Amino acid sequence: MATAVTSQAGAGLDRLREKMDKAGLAALLLTSPGGRRYALGSAPGLADGAAVLVTADGTVASAADGDLTTAVAAALHAGGVADGAVGVDASGPWEVGPAGIRLRPAADLLFAELASYEPGELPAVAAAAELSAVGYTAVMDHLCAGMDVRELSGNVDRSIRRAGGLLGWYDPYGTDGRHGGDATDDRAAGSDLVTVRGHDPATARLIAGTPVRYVLHPLLAGVAGYAAASAVLGKPDGPLRAAGDACAAATAALLAALRPGEPLRGGYEAFDREAAGHTATCRIVTLRGGAAAPPLPRDSAVVAQPGMVLGVRTQVAVPGGGAVELAETVVVTASGASPQALTPLRLVELY
């Protein structure tokens, strides 16, 4: 049986509750890791089979169980929701017990809330992004063919911690090997502050000519840093160079499309146009709550507004294996997207 806990919503959820009320929602059901973390902060027990319910009248109910359906039912019961519309931040297999409850998609509502920062919060975003820049330098200062990837991740870990970074949030990207190359080629190594790909899985050593991709994800005072870069040890061959050029151009197009007053999905559309002819993916995520929050839906109606903070991540696969991968922390300003980590948004060639 699921164990449910209730509490009163803190001031940090007031704006979210106002948006819920305007949308006519009696409650908001959060089952994504980012949504749950935003509602509960660093509270323990955020297992996969966990559900958090935020009601419009200020109750926060959380429940955990091995079965998510059971946890959802327990959270609804604990929150006292017996009828009305309940927004959901992610689709799920659950069935709602009380006949009067209606589930409504609310991914856009949650995304807009998690992306919107007050002016006083933005310096913390810039400071967390700067930690990613520290991590980038720690990688580039040591990268060489034959290096053990575990030593590389240790160098990054020490450098970021010396700069004030704390334990990161685990980056779930690519765990099934579907994001460029086969499952063996895409195997990850690293720490809680950096995830690295591009090494020989049998020896854990970096390979000349193979794209080395790494994602930096430190935390500073609870704020997520976010960046990724790709490098090649030696001269890239034709397919790798083409993938690098395509990823750089498509990423630039995506960032240029993030203009105030324009739908954020325009970033996806710009990326797809520029990357046409390549096997490419991109996603736009929110960083409040960690980048494990659901990405922006491709049919989203969320409009870019000054003060939004986004994680932008792009990838172009290299024929034959591997990929070029880039990511950046972006603040939407009155004039457009402002990158914060400032890692190179191109394939870096090291000779």
Q: For 102-140, what is each residue's pLDDT tens digit?
A: 999 999 999 999 999 999 999 999 999 999 999 999 998
pLDDT of residue 59: 95
> What's this model's pTM, rounded to 2 decimal places?
0.90
CA atoms within 13 A on the CB side of 25: 25
CB contact at 8 A, 310 and 338: no
- The answer to whether residues 73 and 97 touch, using CB atoms and an 8 Å cutoff, is yes
Q: Is the pLDDT of residue 67 over 70?
A: yes
Between the alpha carbon of residue 148 and those of residues 25, 214, 275, 348, the distances in Å are 52, 14, 33, 20
Which element (helix H / strand E) includes 196?
strand 194-197
Residue-wise pLDDT for 142-177, tens only, equals 899 999 998 988 889 899 999 988 766 655 444 333
Give residue-wise pLDDT tens across range 230-256. 999 999 999 999 999 999 999 999 999
Residue 271: both structure tokens together: 């990326």
pLDDT > 90: what percent of the chain? 64
Mean pLDDT over residues 315-329, rounded?
94
Q: Are 328 and 345 in contact (CB under 8 A)?
A: yes
